[in-house]
Structure 1
Protein backbone atom coordinates (compact mmCIF):
# COMPACT_ATOMS: atom_id res chain seq x y z
CA UNK A 1 0.00 0.00 0.00
CA UNK A 2 2.80 2.43 0.89
CA UNK A 3 4.58 1.66 -2.40
CA UNK A 4 1.47 2.20 -4.52
CA UNK A 5 0.50 5.42 -2.76
CA UNK A 6 3.91 6.97 -3.38
CA UNK A 7 4.07 5.74 -6.98
CA UNK A 8 0.59 7.09 -7.74
CA UNK A 9 1.48 10.64 -6.72
CA UNK A 10 1.04 12.73 -9.89
CA UNK A 11 1.19 9.55 -12.01
CA UNK A 12 -1.74 7.67 -13.60
CA UNK A 13 -2.51 4.06 -12.68
CA UNK A 14 -1.85 2.76 -16.19
CA UNK A 15 1.80 3.84 -15.94
CA UNK A 16 2.25 2.79 -12.33
CA UNK A 17 0.83 -0.74 -12.42
CA UNK A 18 3.61 -2.57 -14.35
CA UNK A 19 6.35 -0.83 -12.36
CA UNK A 20 4.55 -1.51 -9.08
CA UNK A 21 4.14 -5.20 -9.93
CA UNK A 22 7.81 -5.60 -10.83
CA UNK A 23 8.88 -3.60 -7.75
CA UNK A 24 6.94 -5.89 -5.39
CA UNK A 25 8.19 -8.96 -7.20
CA UNK A 26 11.77 -7.88 -6.53
CA UNK A 27 11.23 -6.39 -3.07
CA UNK A 28 8.09 -7.83 -1.46
CA UNK A 29 9.11 -6.62 2.03
CA UNK A 30 10.63 -3.35 3.23
CA UNK A 31 13.74 -5.22 4.40
CA UNK A 32 14.31 -6.47 0.86
CA UNK A 33 14.37 -2.93 -0.51
CA UNK A 34 16.48 -1.64 2.37
CA UNK A 35 19.22 -4.15 1.53
CA UNK A 36 19.88 -2.81 -1.98
CA UNK A 37 21.45 0.52 -2.90
CA UNK A 38 19.43 3.66 -3.46
CA UNK A 39 20.70 3.57 -7.04
CA UNK A 40 18.98 0.23 -7.62
CA UNK A 41 15.71 1.73 -6.43
CA UNK A 42 16.13 4.67 -8.79
CA UNK A 43 16.97 2.32 -11.67
CA UNK A 44 13.88 0.21 -11.00
CA UNK A 45 11.75 3.37 -10.91
CA UNK A 46 12.17 3.53 -14.68
CA UNK A 47 10.26 6.28 -16.47
CA UNK A 48 7.61 6.98 -13.82
CA UNK A 49 8.92 10.50 -13.33
CA UNK A 50 9.75 12.42 -10.16
CA UNK A 51 12.44 9.83 -9.29
CA UNK A 52 13.10 11.39 -5.90
CA UNK A 53 10.11 9.32 -4.85
CA UNK A 54 12.29 6.22 -5.34
CA UNK A 55 14.87 7.65 -2.94
CA UNK A 56 12.13 8.35 -0.41
CA UNK A 57 10.76 4.83 -0.65
CA UNK A 58 14.25 3.44 -0.17
CA UNK A 59 14.83 5.67 2.87
CA UNK A 60 11.41 4.73 4.27
CA UNK A 61 12.23 1.03 3.88
CA UNK A 62 15.45 1.54 5.82
CA UNK A 63 13.58 3.40 8.58
CA UNK A 64 10.95 0.66 8.75
CA UNK A 65 13.65 -1.98 9.13
CA UNK A 66 15.48 0.03 11.78
CA UNK A 67 12.59 1.38 13.85
CA UNK A 68 9.60 -0.90 13.22
CA UNK A 69 10.99 -4.41 13.02
CA UNK A 70 10.61 -4.51 9.24
CA UNK A 71 6.82 -3.98 9.33
CA UNK A 72 5.06 -0.93 7.94
CA UNK A 73 3.63 1.00 10.94
CA UNK A 74 -0.14 1.35 11.09
CA UNK A 75 -0.84 4.72 12.70
CA UNK A 76 -0.93 8.13 11.09
CA UNK A 77 1.69 9.54 13.47
CA UNK A 78 4.14 6.70 12.88
CA UNK A 79 3.68 6.79 9.12
CA UNK A 80 4.19 10.55 9.06
CA UNK A 81 7.62 10.08 10.63
CA UNK A 82 8.84 7.97 7.70
CA UNK A 83 11.08 9.76 5.17
CA UNK A 84 9.11 11.19 2.27
CA UNK A 85 5.68 10.42 3.73
CA UNK A 86 3.36 13.42 3.87
CA UNK A 87 0.00 13.93 5.51
CA UNK A 88 -2.06 12.55 2.62
CA UNK A 89 0.03 9.38 2.23
CA UNK A 90 0.06 8.75 5.98
CA UNK A 91 -3.73 9.15 6.17
CA UNK A 92 -4.36 6.97 3.09
CA UNK A 93 -2.15 4.10 4.27
CA UNK A 94 -3.54 4.23 7.81
CA UNK A 95 -7.11 4.19 6.47
CA UNK A 96 -6.95 1.76 3.56
CA UNK A 97 -4.25 -0.63 4.78
CA UNK A 98 -5.05 -0.61 8.52
CA UNK A 99 -8.74 0.37 8.67
CA UNK A 100 -8.22 3.48 10.77
CA UNK A 101 -10.46 6.54 10.82
CA UNK A 102 -8.44 9.20 9.02
CA UNK A 103 -9.41 12.15 6.85
CA UNK A 104 -8.14 11.26 3.37
CA UNK A 105 -8.22 14.15 0.90
CA UNK A 106 -6.89 13.66 -2.62
CA UNK A 107 -7.70 15.51 -5.85
CA UNK A 108 -10.73 13.33 -6.60
CA UNK A 109 -12.21 13.75 -3.12
CA UNK A 110 -11.63 17.50 -3.22
CA UNK A 111 -13.49 17.75 -6.53
CA UNK A 112 -16.50 15.76 -5.28
CA UNK A 113 -16.71 17.88 -2.14
CA UNK A 114 -16.44 21.08 -4.21
CA UNK A 115 -19.33 20.14 -6.47
CA UNK A 116 -21.55 18.15 -4.16
CA UNK A 117 -21.33 20.42 -1.10
CA UNK A 118 -19.83 23.76 -2.08
CA UNK A 119 -21.44 24.11 -5.54
CA UNK A 120 -18.25 25.00 -7.38
CA UNK A 121 -16.98 23.35 -10.55
CA UNK A 122 -13.48 22.74 -9.20
CA UNK A 123 -11.75 22.96 -5.83
CA UNK A 124 -9.25 25.75 -5.22
CA UNK A 125 -5.90 25.40 -7.00
CA UNK A 126 -4.24 24.30 -3.74
CA UNK A 127 -5.61 22.53 -0.68
CA UNK A 128 -7.08 24.90 1.90
CA UNK A 129 -7.81 24.62 5.61
CA UNK A 130 -11.51 25.05 4.82
CA UNK A 131 -11.42 21.99 2.57
CA UNK A 132 -9.79 19.93 5.30
CA UNK A 133 -12.42 21.06 7.81
CA UNK A 134 -15.21 20.11 5.41
CA UNK A 135 -13.68 16.69 4.79
CA UNK A 136 -13.36 16.10 8.53
CA UNK A 137 -16.98 17.13 9.13
CA UNK A 138 -18.28 14.76 6.43
CA UNK A 139 -16.26 11.76 7.65
CA UNK A 140 -18.40 9.13 9.48
CA UNK A 141 -17.50 8.52 13.12
CA UNK A 142 -17.30 4.74 12.81
CA UNK A 143 -13.88 3.55 11.60
CA UNK A 144 -15.25 0.96 9.17
CA UNK A 145 -17.75 3.40 7.68
CA UNK A 146 -15.08 6.09 7.40
CA UNK A 147 -12.83 3.81 5.35
CA UNK A 148 -15.70 2.93 3.01
CA UNK A 149 -16.62 6.62 2.77
CA UNK A 150 -13.11 7.65 1.80
CA UNK A 151 -12.87 4.90 -0.81
CA UNK A 152 -16.34 5.61 -2.20
CA UNK A 153 -15.86 9.36 -2.58
CA UNK A 154 -12.45 8.80 -4.16
CA UNK A 155 -13.91 6.34 -6.69
CA UNK A 156 -16.83 8.67 -7.42
CA UNK A 157 -14.38 11.42 -8.31
CA UNK A 158 -12.14 9.15 -10.36
CA UNK A 159 -14.87 7.43 -12.39
CA UNK A 160 -17.89 9.78 -12.57
CA UNK A 161 -17.23 13.23 -11.13
CA UNK A 162 -14.21 13.77 -13.36
CA UNK A 163 -12.57 17.12 -13.98
CA UNK A 164 -13.30 17.59 -17.68
CA UNK A 165 -16.34 15.45 -18.52
CA UNK A 166 -18.36 14.52 -15.43
CA UNK A 167 -20.91 11.75 -15.98
CA UNK A 168 -23.67 13.46 -14.01
CA UNK A 169 -26.43 11.28 -15.50
CA UNK A 170 -24.85 8.23 -13.86
CA UNK A 171 -24.06 9.87 -10.51
CA UNK A 172 -25.82 8.25 -7.52
CA UNK A 173 -25.91 11.55 -5.60
CA UNK A 174 -26.86 13.92 -8.40
CA UNK A 175 -30.13 14.85 -6.63
CA UNK A 176 -28.07 16.30 -3.77
CA UNK A 177 -25.40 18.01 -5.87
CA UNK A 178 -25.10 21.72 -5.13
CA UNK A 179 -23.20 22.33 -8.39
CA UNK A 180 -25.98 20.82 -10.53
CA UNK A 181 -28.60 22.71 -8.52
CA UNK A 182 -26.73 25.96 -9.24
CA UNK A 183 -26.87 25.30 -12.99
CA UNK A 184 -23.32 23.94 -13.38
CA UNK A 185 -21.44 27.25 -13.10
CA UNK A 186 -18.05 27.26 -14.85
CA UNK A 187 -14.81 27.10 -12.87
CA UNK A 188 -13.28 30.34 -11.65
CA UNK A 189 -9.90 29.43 -13.15
CA UNK A 190 -8.45 27.28 -15.93
CA UNK A 191 -6.20 24.47 -14.67
CA UNK A 192 -2.76 24.62 -16.23
CA UNK A 193 -0.76 21.52 -17.02
CA UNK A 194 2.95 21.38 -16.40
CA UNK A 195 5.19 22.11 -19.36
CA UNK A 196 7.62 19.40 -20.44
CA UNK A 197 9.24 19.97 -23.83
CA UNK A 198 12.30 22.17 -23.60
CA UNK A 199 12.28 22.31 -19.81
CA UNK A 200 14.99 21.39 -17.32
CA UNK A 201 12.72 18.49 -16.27
CA UNK A 202 12.93 17.02 -19.76
CA UNK A 203 16.73 17.26 -19.74
CA UNK A 204 16.89 15.73 -16.25
CA UNK A 205 14.74 12.85 -17.47
CA UNK A 206 17.01 12.29 -20.47
CA UNK A 207 20.11 12.26 -18.23
CA UNK A 208 18.46 9.78 -15.88
CA UNK A 209 17.58 7.52 -18.84
CA UNK A 210 21.30 7.32 -19.64
CA UNK A 211 22.36 6.59 -16.06
CA UNK A 212 19.70 3.90 -15.52
CA UNK A 213 21.31 1.84 -18.30
CA UNK A 214 24.92 2.60 -17.38
CA UNK A 215 26.83 -0.12 -15.54
CA UNK A 216 29.85 2.16 -15.06
CA UNK A 217 30.15 5.90 -14.35
CA UNK A 218 29.41 8.04 -17.41
CA UNK A 219 32.16 10.50 -18.30
CA UNK A 220 31.07 14.18 -18.35
CA UNK A 221 32.17 14.62 -21.97
CA UNK A 222 29.60 12.05 -23.08
CA UNK A 223 26.84 14.37 -21.87
CA UNK A 224 28.46 17.35 -23.56
CA UNK A 225 29.39 15.95 -26.98
CA UNK A 226 27.75 13.63 -29.48
CA UNK A 227 28.69 9.99 -28.72
CA UNK A 228 29.57 9.42 -32.39
CA UNK A 229 32.10 12.27 -32.26
CA UNK A 230 33.86 10.45 -29.43
CA UNK A 231 33.82 7.09 -31.19
CA UNK A 232 31.29 5.79 -28.67
CA UNK A 233 29.23 2.74 -29.69
CA UNK A 234 25.60 3.40 -30.63
CA UNK A 235 24.22 0.44 -28.65
CA UNK A 236 23.66 0.33 -24.88
CA UNK A 237 23.71 3.79 -23.34
CA UNK A 238 24.48 5.22 -26.78
CA UNK A 239 20.73 5.14 -27.51
CA UNK A 240 19.58 7.36 -24.60
CA UNK A 241 22.70 9.51 -25.06
CA UNK A 242 21.69 10.19 -28.65
CA UNK A 243 18.16 11.03 -27.44
CA UNK A 244 19.63 13.46 -24.91
CA UNK A 245 21.67 15.23 -27.60
CA UNK A 246 18.68 15.45 -29.93
CA UNK A 247 17.12 17.82 -27.38
CA UNK A 248 19.76 20.40 -28.41
CA UNK A 249 19.70 21.87 -24.92
CA UNK A 250 21.98 24.77 -24.15
CA UNK A 251 25.14 23.89 -22.20
CA UNK A 252 23.94 25.88 -19.20
CA UNK A 253 20.65 23.95 -19.16
CA UNK A 254 22.50 20.63 -19.11
CA UNK A 255 24.71 21.96 -16.31
CA UNK A 256 21.62 22.98 -14.32
CA UNK A 257 20.06 19.55 -14.84
CA UNK A 258 23.18 17.72 -13.67
CA UNK A 259 23.64 20.09 -10.72
CA UNK A 260 20.00 19.60 -9.71
CA UNK A 261 20.28 15.82 -9.89
CA UNK A 262 23.42 15.95 -7.75
CA UNK A 263 21.72 18.22 -5.23
CA UNK A 264 18.69 15.92 -5.04
CA UNK A 265 20.89 12.88 -4.34
CA UNK A 266 19.77 11.13 -7.54
CA UNK A 267 23.26 11.21 -9.04
CA UNK A 268 26.81 10.92 -7.73
CA UNK A 269 29.91 12.39 -9.36
CA UNK A 270 32.94 10.15 -9.08
CA UNK A 271 36.45 10.61 -10.47
CA UNK A 272 35.47 8.84 -13.70
CA UNK A 273 32.01 10.33 -14.15
CA UNK A 274 28.37 10.38 -13.12
CA UNK A 275 26.45 7.39 -11.77
CA UNK A 276 23.34 6.53 -9.79
CA UNK A 277 23.82 6.67 -5.99
CA UNK A 278 25.54 3.73 -4.36
Structure 2
Protein backbone atom coordinates (compact mmCIF):
# COMPACT_ATOMS: atom_id res chain seq x y z
CA UNK A 1 0.00 0.00 0.00
CA UNK A 2 2.78 2.43 0.88
CA UNK A 3 4.59 1.68 -2.40
CA UNK A 4 1.48 2.19 -4.52
CA UNK A 5 0.49 5.42 -2.76
CA UNK A 6 3.88 6.99 -3.38
CA UNK A 7 4.05 5.74 -6.97
CA UNK A 8 0.58 7.12 -7.70
CA UNK A 9 1.51 10.66 -6.68
CA UNK A 10 1.09 12.71 -9.89
CA UNK A 11 1.25 9.51 -11.99
CA UNK A 12 -1.71 7.65 -13.56
CA UNK A 13 -2.51 4.05 -12.64
CA UNK A 14 -1.86 2.72 -16.14
CA UNK A 15 1.79 3.79 -15.91
CA UNK A 16 2.26 2.74 -12.31
CA UNK A 17 0.82 -0.79 -12.45
CA UNK A 18 3.63 -2.64 -14.31
CA UNK A 19 6.35 -0.90 -12.29
CA UNK A 20 4.52 -1.57 -9.02
CA UNK A 21 4.12 -5.26 -9.88
CA UNK A 22 7.81 -5.64 -10.73
CA UNK A 23 8.81 -3.65 -7.63
CA UNK A 24 6.85 -5.95 -5.30
CA UNK A 25 8.12 -9.06 -7.08
CA UNK A 26 11.69 -7.92 -6.50
CA UNK A 27 11.18 -6.40 -3.04
CA UNK A 28 8.17 -8.05 -1.36
CA UNK A 29 9.20 -6.77 2.10
CA UNK A 30 10.76 -3.46 3.26
CA UNK A 31 13.87 -5.33 4.44
CA UNK A 32 14.56 -6.58 0.91
CA UNK A 33 14.58 -3.03 -0.45
CA UNK A 34 16.55 -1.70 2.52
CA UNK A 35 19.39 -4.14 1.76
CA UNK A 36 19.81 -2.77 -1.77
CA UNK A 37 21.71 0.40 -2.72
CA UNK A 38 19.49 3.44 -3.14
CA UNK A 39 20.52 3.57 -6.79
CA UNK A 40 18.76 0.28 -7.45
CA UNK A 41 15.49 1.81 -6.31
CA UNK A 42 16.06 4.70 -8.72
CA UNK A 43 16.93 2.28 -11.53
CA UNK A 44 13.79 0.20 -10.91
CA UNK A 45 11.69 3.38 -10.85
CA UNK A 46 12.01 3.52 -14.63
CA UNK A 47 10.23 6.40 -16.32
CA UNK A 48 7.54 7.07 -13.71
CA UNK A 49 8.90 10.59 -13.23
CA UNK A 50 9.81 12.50 -10.09
CA UNK A 51 12.47 9.87 -9.21
CA UNK A 52 13.15 11.42 -5.82
CA UNK A 53 10.12 9.39 -4.79
CA UNK A 54 12.25 6.27 -5.33
CA UNK A 55 14.88 7.61 -2.94
CA UNK A 56 12.19 8.39 -0.39
CA UNK A 57 10.74 4.90 -0.66
CA UNK A 58 14.19 3.45 -0.15
CA UNK A 59 14.69 5.72 2.86
CA UNK A 60 11.29 4.66 4.23
CA UNK A 61 12.25 0.99 3.83
CA UNK A 62 15.48 1.58 5.76
CA UNK A 63 13.56 3.39 8.52
CA UNK A 64 10.91 0.66 8.69
CA UNK A 65 13.58 -2.02 9.02
CA UNK A 66 15.58 -0.03 11.58
CA UNK A 67 12.82 1.49 13.70
CA UNK A 68 9.74 -0.70 13.22
CA UNK A 69 11.05 -4.23 13.08
CA UNK A 70 10.57 -4.47 9.32
CA UNK A 71 6.79 -3.93 9.53
CA UNK A 72 5.04 -0.90 8.03
CA UNK A 73 3.52 1.02 10.96
CA UNK A 74 -0.25 1.38 11.10
CA UNK A 75 -0.35 4.59 13.16
CA UNK A 76 -0.76 7.90 11.31
CA UNK A 77 1.93 9.70 13.35
CA UNK A 78 4.46 6.91 12.87
CA UNK A 79 3.73 6.77 9.13
CA UNK A 80 4.16 10.53 8.93
CA UNK A 81 7.62 10.12 10.45
CA UNK A 82 8.85 7.99 7.54
CA UNK A 83 10.99 9.69 4.85
CA UNK A 84 8.90 11.03 1.98
CA UNK A 85 5.53 10.35 3.64
CA UNK A 86 3.26 13.36 3.84
CA UNK A 87 -0.11 13.86 5.51
CA UNK A 88 -2.18 12.48 2.62
CA UNK A 89 -0.05 9.34 2.20
CA UNK A 90 0.02 8.67 5.95
CA UNK A 91 -3.77 9.02 6.17
CA UNK A 92 -4.40 6.87 3.08
CA UNK A 93 -2.14 4.03 4.25
CA UNK A 94 -3.55 4.11 7.79
CA UNK A 95 -7.12 4.06 6.44
CA UNK A 96 -6.97 1.68 3.50
CA UNK A 97 -4.24 -0.70 4.66
CA UNK A 98 -5.07 -0.79 8.37
CA UNK A 99 -8.72 0.28 8.65
CA UNK A 100 -7.98 3.37 10.75
CA UNK A 101 -10.33 6.35 10.95
CA UNK A 102 -8.39 9.06 9.13
CA UNK A 103 -9.43 12.01 6.98
CA UNK A 104 -8.23 11.19 3.46
CA UNK A 105 -8.39 14.07 0.99
CA UNK A 106 -7.08 13.57 -2.55
CA UNK A 107 -7.89 15.44 -5.77
CA UNK A 108 -10.97 13.34 -6.50
CA UNK A 109 -12.43 13.79 -3.01
CA UNK A 110 -11.77 17.53 -3.13
CA UNK A 111 -13.63 17.80 -6.44
CA UNK A 112 -16.67 15.87 -5.17
CA UNK A 113 -16.82 18.02 -2.04
CA UNK A 114 -16.47 21.23 -4.08
CA UNK A 115 -19.37 20.37 -6.37
CA UNK A 116 -21.64 18.57 -3.95
CA UNK A 117 -21.40 20.98 -1.03
CA UNK A 118 -19.87 24.26 -2.28
CA UNK A 119 -21.38 24.48 -5.76
CA UNK A 120 -17.99 25.08 -7.37
CA UNK A 121 -16.91 23.34 -10.58
CA UNK A 122 -13.43 22.71 -9.18
CA UNK A 123 -11.79 22.97 -5.77
CA UNK A 124 -9.27 25.73 -5.06
CA UNK A 125 -5.87 25.33 -6.76
CA UNK A 126 -4.32 24.39 -3.39
CA UNK A 127 -5.82 22.49 -0.47
CA UNK A 128 -7.32 24.84 2.10
CA UNK A 129 -7.99 24.55 5.82
CA UNK A 130 -11.71 24.93 5.11
CA UNK A 131 -11.63 21.87 2.86
CA UNK A 132 -9.92 19.82 5.54
CA UNK A 133 -12.52 20.93 8.12
CA UNK A 134 -15.35 19.95 5.79
CA UNK A 135 -13.80 16.55 5.10
CA UNK A 136 -13.32 15.92 8.82
CA UNK A 137 -16.93 16.91 9.57
CA UNK A 138 -18.27 14.56 6.89
CA UNK A 139 -16.24 11.55 8.02
CA UNK A 140 -18.35 8.84 9.75
CA UNK A 141 -17.50 8.34 13.39
CA UNK A 142 -16.85 4.59 13.21
CA UNK A 143 -13.64 3.29 11.67
CA UNK A 144 -15.21 0.84 9.22
CA UNK A 145 -17.71 3.41 8.00
CA UNK A 146 -15.00 6.04 7.59
CA UNK A 147 -12.91 3.71 5.41
CA UNK A 148 -15.89 2.94 3.19
CA UNK A 149 -16.73 6.64 2.99
CA UNK A 150 -13.21 7.63 1.96
CA UNK A 151 -13.06 4.90 -0.68
CA UNK A 152 -16.55 5.64 -2.00
CA UNK A 153 -16.07 9.39 -2.39
CA UNK A 154 -12.67 8.82 -4.00
CA UNK A 155 -14.16 6.37 -6.52
CA UNK A 156 -17.08 8.70 -7.20
CA UNK A 157 -14.63 11.44 -8.14
CA UNK A 158 -12.43 9.13 -10.22
CA UNK A 159 -15.20 7.43 -12.21
CA UNK A 160 -18.26 9.73 -12.23
CA UNK A 161 -17.52 13.25 -10.94
CA UNK A 162 -14.52 13.66 -13.23
CA UNK A 163 -12.77 16.94 -13.91
CA UNK A 164 -13.47 17.37 -17.64
CA UNK A 165 -16.58 15.34 -18.43
CA UNK A 166 -18.59 14.49 -15.30
CA UNK A 167 -21.21 11.77 -15.79
CA UNK A 168 -23.92 13.60 -13.87
CA UNK A 169 -26.85 11.40 -15.05
CA UNK A 170 -25.11 8.39 -13.46
CA UNK A 171 -24.30 10.17 -10.18
CA UNK A 172 -26.07 8.66 -7.14
CA UNK A 173 -26.12 12.03 -5.33
CA UNK A 174 -27.03 14.30 -8.25
CA UNK A 175 -30.27 15.40 -6.54
CA UNK A 176 -28.16 16.86 -3.69
CA UNK A 177 -25.44 18.45 -5.80
CA UNK A 178 -25.05 22.19 -5.21
CA UNK A 179 -23.15 22.59 -8.49
CA UNK A 180 -25.98 21.07 -10.55
CA UNK A 181 -28.53 23.12 -8.63
CA UNK A 182 -26.57 26.28 -9.48
CA UNK A 183 -26.69 25.49 -13.19
CA UNK A 184 -23.20 24.01 -13.53
CA UNK A 185 -21.23 27.28 -13.35
CA UNK A 186 -17.81 27.17 -15.04
CA UNK A 187 -14.58 26.95 -13.04
CA UNK A 188 -13.25 30.14 -11.50
CA UNK A 189 -9.84 29.38 -13.01
CA UNK A 190 -8.29 27.27 -15.79
CA UNK A 191 -6.06 24.46 -14.53
CA UNK A 192 -2.64 24.55 -16.15
CA UNK A 193 -0.57 21.44 -16.74
CA UNK A 194 3.15 21.44 -16.06
CA UNK A 195 5.38 22.17 -19.04
CA UNK A 196 7.78 19.43 -20.09
CA UNK A 197 9.36 19.98 -23.53
CA UNK A 198 12.45 22.12 -23.35
CA UNK A 199 12.49 22.29 -19.55
CA UNK A 200 15.23 21.34 -17.10
CA UNK A 201 12.97 18.49 -16.02
CA UNK A 202 13.09 17.01 -19.50
CA UNK A 203 16.88 17.21 -19.56
CA UNK A 204 17.10 15.65 -16.09
CA UNK A 205 14.86 12.84 -17.32
CA UNK A 206 17.16 12.29 -20.30
CA UNK A 207 20.22 12.09 -18.07
CA UNK A 208 18.47 9.70 -15.70
CA UNK A 209 17.53 7.42 -18.62
CA UNK A 210 21.25 7.14 -19.44
CA UNK A 211 22.28 6.48 -15.83
CA UNK A 212 19.64 3.79 -15.35
CA UNK A 213 21.15 1.72 -18.17
CA UNK A 214 24.80 2.39 -17.36
CA UNK A 215 26.74 -0.35 -15.59
CA UNK A 216 29.72 1.95 -14.99
CA UNK A 217 30.20 5.68 -14.27
CA UNK A 218 29.36 7.79 -17.33
CA UNK A 219 32.09 10.35 -18.18
CA UNK A 220 30.88 13.93 -18.49
CA UNK A 221 32.02 14.12 -22.12
CA UNK A 222 29.54 11.42 -23.05
CA UNK A 223 26.74 13.76 -22.05
CA UNK A 224 28.36 16.66 -23.85
CA UNK A 225 29.07 14.98 -27.20
CA UNK A 226 26.81 13.12 -29.58
CA UNK A 227 27.41 9.34 -29.50
CA UNK A 228 28.73 9.34 -33.08
CA UNK A 229 31.45 11.79 -32.04
CA UNK A 230 32.77 9.63 -29.22
CA UNK A 231 34.62 7.18 -31.43
CA UNK A 232 33.64 4.09 -29.39
CA UNK A 233 30.60 2.07 -28.41
CA UNK A 234 28.67 4.09 -25.86
CA UNK A 235 28.79 1.38 -23.18
CA UNK A 236 25.30 0.06 -23.92
CA UNK A 237 23.71 3.46 -23.38
CA UNK A 238 23.71 4.67 -26.97
CA UNK A 239 19.92 4.84 -27.36
CA UNK A 240 19.10 7.06 -24.33
CA UNK A 241 22.28 9.04 -24.94
CA UNK A 242 21.21 9.78 -28.51
CA UNK A 243 17.74 10.76 -27.24
CA UNK A 244 19.34 13.16 -24.77
CA UNK A 245 21.39 14.82 -27.50
CA UNK A 246 18.36 15.17 -29.76
CA UNK A 247 17.01 17.61 -27.17
CA UNK A 248 19.75 20.05 -28.28
CA UNK A 249 19.82 21.62 -24.85
CA UNK A 250 22.21 24.44 -24.10
CA UNK A 251 25.43 23.47 -22.24
CA UNK A 252 24.38 25.49 -19.20
CA UNK A 253 21.03 23.64 -19.07
CA UNK A 254 22.83 20.28 -19.10
CA UNK A 255 25.15 21.52 -16.35
CA UNK A 256 22.14 22.60 -14.27
CA UNK A 257 20.54 19.20 -14.75
CA UNK A 258 23.67 17.32 -13.69
CA UNK A 259 24.26 19.61 -10.72
CA UNK A 260 20.62 19.27 -9.64
CA UNK A 261 20.75 15.48 -9.78
CA UNK A 262 23.87 15.50 -7.62
CA UNK A 263 22.25 17.89 -5.14
CA UNK A 264 19.09 15.78 -4.94
CA UNK A 265 21.05 12.59 -4.33
CA UNK A 266 19.83 10.99 -7.57
CA UNK A 267 23.36 10.79 -8.97
CA UNK A 268 26.88 10.82 -7.61
CA UNK A 269 30.38 11.35 -8.97
CA UNK A 270 32.61 8.30 -9.01
CA UNK A 271 35.92 7.77 -10.80
CA UNK A 272 35.42 10.92 -12.84
CA UNK A 273 31.94 10.01 -14.06
CA UNK A 274 28.27 10.08 -13.06
CA UNK A 275 26.36 7.08 -11.70
CA UNK A 276 23.27 6.28 -9.69
CA UNK A 277 23.80 6.50 -5.90
CA UNK A 278 25.48 3.51 -4.30
TM-score, normalised by the number of residues in structure 2: 0.99
Deviation at residue 235 of structure 1 after TM alignment:
7.3
Deviation at residue 177 of structure 1 after TM alignment:
0.3
Indicate the residue corresponding to 1:200 in structure 2: 200
- SS at 2:274 equivalent: strand
- Structure 1: how far apart are the matches of 2:92 and 2:205? 29
- Structure 1: how far apart are the matches of 2:232 and 2:13? 37
Structure 2 segments unaligned to the other structure (5+ residues):
none
Indicate the residue corresponding to 1:182 in structure 2: 182
- Structure 2: how far apart are the matches of 1:131 and 1:11? 23
Question: Contact 1:203/1:244 (CA < 8 Å) preserved in 2?
Answer: yes
- Structure 1: how far apart are the matches of 2:60 and 2:195? 30
- Structure 1: how far apart are the matches of 2:94 and 2:179? 31
- Structure 2: how far apart are the matches of 1:132 and 1:231? 59
- SS at 1:274 equivalent: strand
Deviation at residue 270 of structure 1 after TM alignment:
1.6
Question: Contact 1:232/1:238 (CA < 8 Å) preserved in 2?
Answer: no
Indicate the residue corresponding to 2:102 in structure 1: 102
- Structure 1: how far apart are the matches of 2:225 and 2:153? 52
Structure 1 segments unaligned to the other structure (5+ residues):
none
- SS at 2:233 equivalent: coil
Q: Note the 1:6-85 alignment, pairs <5 A.
A: 6-85=6-85
Question: Contact 2:92/2:102 (CA < 8 Å) preserved in 1?
Answer: yes
TM-score, normalised by the number of residues in structure 1: 0.99
1:78-131: CA deviation from partner (whole Å, max 9, x where unpaired): 000000000000000000000000000000000000000010000000000000
